[in-house]
Amino acid sequence: MRATTIVMSAAMVATGVVAAPAAEIATGSGILIGASGEILTNAHVVEACRSIKLTFANGDAKSAALIARDEQNDLAVLRASRPPSTAAVAVFRDTPPLRTGDSIVVLGYPLAGVLATGANLAVGNVSALAGLGDDSRYLQISAPVQPGNSGGPVVDTSGHLVGIVTAKLDAVRVARAIGDIPQNVNFALKAQVARTFLDSKLISYKTDKSTARLSPSDVGDIARPFTVHVACTRTERREVAAAPASAPAPAPSPARASASVAPAASAGGLKGPLRDAFVTKSARSCTRKTHKENPQVALPTIRDFCSCLAEGEADATSEADLAYVSEHRRATDDYRDRISKVLAACKNKVGSR
């Protein structure tokens, strides 16, 4: 787990910016959870959308509106403009508790425009009941997922929802870092986290016990009708940091009158070995680049600044942020705002000495 967490942190430290096209269409997957057209998906799937289009398994296409969002847990709920003609909605697994080794099926719409237009199905197992750094919000699953699977359902052998596909390790970067290619290391947000979010928004959903042991094909027949293709049209051209943690940091500013104000942490920030790896890499990268670009600034001052920046970024960063940047090569606007606050606080702190 130590090597894996270091590599996940390394996936964050690629420097640069990504400019979104003037009219970008991002696609992902969603889960029909309500007969009135409520769709559960990842928040990053529907970030900054001018319009959202849903396509159901029966071919029905409808526009949708964002009605609820949870940035911290990367969840969102959409509502279709009209209830879909299909009556099939997802049922959340209630009992018994999920166990390591349990069989699961993943459905979604990966690599839109390349693979089949219908929902793709993949099978696997629950590899662990926690994500990176033992984050209890996530499941680690072995079923293969690709870009476009985000927001899609992970179901058990009864066809009941147990998770929402969220992220995967970047195999290329892991291979470069440790000399081996990770296989089928993917993550899904637990259904219980989604249920807590839905409860807080007073959005109803169905639950049931899971007792059946159906074949993957039969499970697919149950889940396909509630698996939805989500297309988000983004028109705002924006430059976003691909990795705020290691972008070249400006030299600490001269003394300023304003006091340093620490930004709010993101649900306690990163924890354990993932935090250690993140802070170490961020501080080293920042120190090296800032010293090279600003040789006139004393090295101890640069180190203090970069240490402040690395610790602050770790406090302001969640695993959902890491997963989003790893998959999309860019950060959310909310994450960029948090990192900007950290940067301003550290410049004030060091500059006021």
**Tens digits of residue pLDDT in 196-216:** 999 999 999 999 999 999 999
Phi, psi (degrees; rounded to nearest 5) at 113? 90, -10
21-234 is classed in which CATH architecture?
Beta Barrel (2.40)
Question: Using 50, 70 and 90 to split pLDDT, how confident is the model at 221?
Answer: very high
Average pLDDT in the chain: 81
pLDDT at 292: 83
Q: How far apart are CA 158 and CA 207, in angstroms?
A: 12
User: Which tens digits make up the pLDDT trace of 320-352?
Assistant: 777 677 666 677 888 888 888 898 888 888 876
Residue 87 has pLDDT above 70, yes or no: no
User: Which residue among the candidates 9, 29, 74, 210 is catalytic per the annotation?
Assistant: 74
User: Which residue among the candidates 9, 29, 150, 282 is catalytic per the annotation?
Assistant: 150
328 noted as active-site residue: no
Map out the domains of the chain as residue ranges: 21-234, 239-351
Burial code (b: 16+ CB inside 10 Å, e: under 16) for 267-299 equals: eebbeebbbbbbbebbbebbbebbbeebeeeee
Q: How far apart are CA 81 and CA 97, in angstroms?
A: 35
For residue 148, how far is the Cα from the chain centroid?
12
**Class of residue 95 by CB neighbours under 10 A (exposed 0-12, middle 13-18, buried 19+):** exposed
- Higher local confidence (pLDDT), 150 or 267: 150
Q: Is 325 left (phi over 0), alpha (psi -120 to 50) or beta?
A: alpha
pLDDT at 352: 67
pLDDT at 12: 30
Mean pLDDT of the 135-154 span: 95
- Higher local confidence (pLDDT), 192 or 271: 192
74 noted as active-site residue: yes
Are the CB atoms for 120 and 224 separated by under 8 Å? Answer: no
44 noted as active-site residue: yes
